[in-house]
């Protein structure tokens, strides 16, 4: 990105909140921040089935926490002290302000996402 060799960032979503915040695998938020810093557009590509209009924002999306052994052991070998505190979330939240558009099978949604996501979900329900 720093070298100008990336034209766009595209990622999926496990869940999209009504305001356009996106839950996806760990690291998506970091990449979106970097892209924003470098003026690179960020596109989320997700089916309308991942849009949750009943969840107002990404802060309201429950984040699954994975087993601590995923980061304290490698191949069964302990690599961290037994009592070390571990936070091992499966997803992170990318705020809508870092997303240029959300692409669905019903079209491209733009900010304000609250309006465009509702329209996409309505079109999907008609089919």
Enzyme catalytic residues: 14
Reduce the DSSP state of residue 63 to 3 states and report it: coil
Chain-centroid distance of CA 87 in Å reads: 18
Count Cα atoms within 13 angstroms, Cβ side, for 44: 35
Structure tokens at 17: 């909140």
96, 22 Cβ separation under 8 angstroms:
yes
Structure tokens at 82: 């037994």
Closest residue by Cα to residue 51 from 80, 16, 23, 24: 16
Count the residues in the chain: 127
């Amino acid at each position: 990105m720093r070298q100008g060799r990336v034209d766009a960032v595209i990622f999926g979503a496990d869940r999209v909140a009504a305001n356009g915040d996106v839950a996806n695998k760990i690291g998506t938020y970091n990449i979106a921040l970097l892209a924003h810093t470098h003026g690179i557009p960020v596109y989320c590509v997700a089916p309308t089935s991942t849009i949750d209009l009943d969840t107002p924002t990404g802060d309201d999306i429950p984040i699954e926490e994975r087993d601590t052994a995923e980061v304290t052991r490698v191949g069964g070998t302990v690599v961290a002290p037994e009592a070390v505190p571990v936070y091992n979330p499966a997803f992170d939240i990318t705020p809508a302000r870092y997303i240029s558009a959300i692409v669905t099978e019903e079209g491209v949604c733009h900010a304000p996402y609250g309006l465009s996501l509702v329209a996409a979900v309505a079109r999907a329900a008609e089919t």
